[in-house]
Amino acid sequence: MSSIDGLISGMKTTDMISQLMQVEALPQAALKNKAAVQGKAVAAFQSINTRMSSLLAAAKALGSADTWGTMRATASSDAVVATAKPGASAGSMTFTVDNLAAAHTVTFDGWVGSLTDATTSAVMPAGTLSVRKADGGTTTVTPTDASLQSVVNAINATGGAAYKAAAVQVAPGRYTLQLTSVATGAAGVFASAPAEINQLGAADVTTQGSDARITVGSTVDAYPVTSASNTFAEVLPGVTLTVTRKQTDTPVTVSLVPDSDAVATRVQALVDNANVALSEIAAQTRTKNGDVAAGSLVGDSTARTLGQDIISAVSSGAGDALGSLSAVGIALDRTGTVTFNRQKFLDSLAADPAKTRAYFDSYTDVAHERASATSFDPGWDKANGLARRLEAITRIASEGVVLPTDPVDKAKEGVLTGLINRRNAAITGLNEQVASWDVRLDLRKTALERQWSALEVSLSKLQSQSSWLSGQLAGLPSSSPA
């Protein structure tokens, strides 16, 4: 119902109702404000959780044997590309590249003048075509017609065929058929071409399928190694060689050394992610300072404790046996930022790889260290190395753990995840209350409009009665003195 402003009373009824509704809506506004505050907190926790997840990944990388066993393979010639798996043994090998792998290719010595004309440029009688398969058998296919293009299409559409077909131009306006084995090496050689293609003459071997071959060593005891492709795996344990061209004049030497730079890069990633996490926690928990607004989690003990745990993991070192992390280039500056001296780390790694690793990847007892190699043990109090400590902190924060004493069906929930879930549930409840207030306020507004409308109607009736009464009084005869 809409009100009529000042029809009788002259009052601005709509404005008055609007002002009254603002007062009535104060509880709802408070609920909306609470929901907004909770929403900002959720966004802040999610932002911190994202940083903690990244820190967890960096910490887990430094807890991996693959990281500390990273090897770098180098070749003395660009004729060879060498790669090494983590854990490969340091060493070297010298060899010559004798041959590259070749795919077996045959080409017919006749030609046709058109790719698609099946009348004057037929390459076989109309009907079926026998295609050789990679397993040694044959299969029968039916080209659309006898043209060269139809034959090529039929062969290439055959699953498991030993070769692929191509129409090649041997001269302007002259085409023939070429078959190339799918597999390189001697195993890809196929004994014969389809006999049905009798309009193109004989099929000649233009490239003999052959294996790649290298010769290891340079003395009379040198030995050959072959591969169906140009890739040689495990000639040295954990090493893969890919040859790109023959190199028989100058032997190629492949050397394997520990990739210290790759390990240092992993440590730098750990430091960088720790600093990003600390910076985000500081931003979300800061107090108001002049024009700088307070963070969404100002006063939140969980976020502050998380930041303190990260700083403590760095400042407390790696236990009594190892001491300060400064020995491997890790330190805290006066602003609470984690710093990394890459050269100091590299020097330590070169001098004592096992000890350097222990600063990052170790526990206070051997049994726990062995258990942690396959799964995370919730005994995080035994974590000794920096990466392991940060892994424990970030796992508890982001992923959560299940203790042996917990119920079997208990789901893992990180501290941050739990806070996010509970605040989201609170937001849902607040939004439901806001929605119920919408209904209540609509009813209240309708009631006020009815009241003011009724008042205007009453005033109108009173005004009519007053006018009638005045008229009646005016019509009475006036009395004159005797």
Q: How confident is the model at residue 203 (pLDDT cuts 50, 70, 90)?
A: very high
Average pLDDT over residues 332-341: 92
Q: What whole-number percentage of the chain has pLDDT above 90? A: 47
The β-bridge partners of 103 are 184
Q: How many CB atoms are located within 10 Å of the residue 148 CB?
A: 29
Tokens, residue 90: 């340091």
What CA–CA distance (Å, rounded) separates 326 from 338? 11
pLDDT score for 265: 95
Q: What is the pLDDT of residues 406-419, one digit of tens each?
A: 565 656 677 888 88
Tokens, residue 261: 């730079």
Can you give the residue ranges of every domain in the chain? 29-65+262-417, 71-100+212-258, 103-207
Q: What's the maximum distance between 2 C-alpha atoms anywhere in the chain?
A: 166
4 has pLDDT over 60: no
Q: What is the pLDDT of residues 263-311, one digit of tens each?
A: 999 999 999 999 999 999 998 888 878 777 888 888 888 889 899 999 9
Average pLDDT over residues 198-218: 93
Tokens, residue 276: 């990003």
Q: How confident is the model at residue 402 (pLDDT cuts 50, 70, 90)?
A: low
Tokens, residue 170: 């041997």
pLDDT score for 33: 82
Average pLDDT over residues 427-436: 81
Per-residue H/E/C for the chain = CCCCCCCCCCCCHHHHHHHHHHHHCHHHHHHHHHHHHHHHHHHHHHHHHHHHHHHHHHHHHHCCHHHHCCEEEEECCCCEEEEECCCCCCEEEEEEEEECCEEEEEEECCCECCCCCCCCCCCCCCCCEEEEECCCCEEEECCCCCCHHHHHHHHHCCCCECEEEEEEEEECCEEEEEEEEEEECHHHCCCCCCCCCCCCCCEEEEECCECEEEEECCCCCCEEEEECCCEEECCCCCEEEEECCCEEEEEEEEEEEECHHHHHHHHHHHHHHHHHHHHHHHHHHCCCECCECCCCCCCCHHHHHHHHHHHHHHHCCCCCCCCCHHHHCEEECCCCCEEECHHHHHHHHHHCHHHHHHCCCCECCHHHHHHHCCCCCCCHHHECCHHHHHHHHHHHHHHCCCCCCCCCCCCCCCHHHHHHHHHHHHHHHHHHHHHHHHHHHHHHHHHHHHHHHHHHHHHHHHHHHHHHHHHHHHHCCCCCCC
Sign of CA dihedral 224, 228, 231, 237: negative
Q: How many CB atoms are located within 10 Å of the residue 159 CB?
A: 7
2 has pLDDT over 80: no
pLDDT score for 380: 54
231 has pLDDT over 90: yes
What CA–CA distance (Å, rounded) separates 58 from 49? 14
pLDDT score for 240: 93
**Encoded amino acid at 10, one letter:** G
CB burial of residue 221 (10 Å; 0-12, 13-18, 19+)? exposed
Lowest-pLDDT range, 296-300, 335-339, 406-410, 434-438?
406-410
* Residues 372/389, Cβ–Cβ less than 8 Å: no
Closest to 78 (Cα-Cα) out of 214, 250, 257: 250
CA distances from 347 to 61, 328, 342, 344, 475 (A): 21, 8, 9, 5, 120
Lowest-pLDDT range, 33-42, 225-234, 437-446?
437-446
Q: What is the pLDDT of residues 126-175, one digit of tens each?
A: 789 999 999 889 999 999 999 999 999 999 999 999 999 999 999 999 99
Q: What is the pLDDT of residues 369-391, one digit of tens each?
A: 444 443 444 455 577 889 988 98
40 has pLDDT over 90: no
pLDDT score for 409: 60
pLDDT score for 10: 58
459 has pLDDT over 90: no
Q: What is the pLDDT of residues 44-76, one digit of tens each?
A: 888 999 999 999 999 999 988 889 989 999 999
93 has pLDDT over 70: yes
- Compute the half-sphere exposure of residue 387: CA atoms within 13 Å on the CB side of its CA: 26
Q: How confident is the model at residue 15 (pLDDT cuts 50, 70, 90)?
A: confident
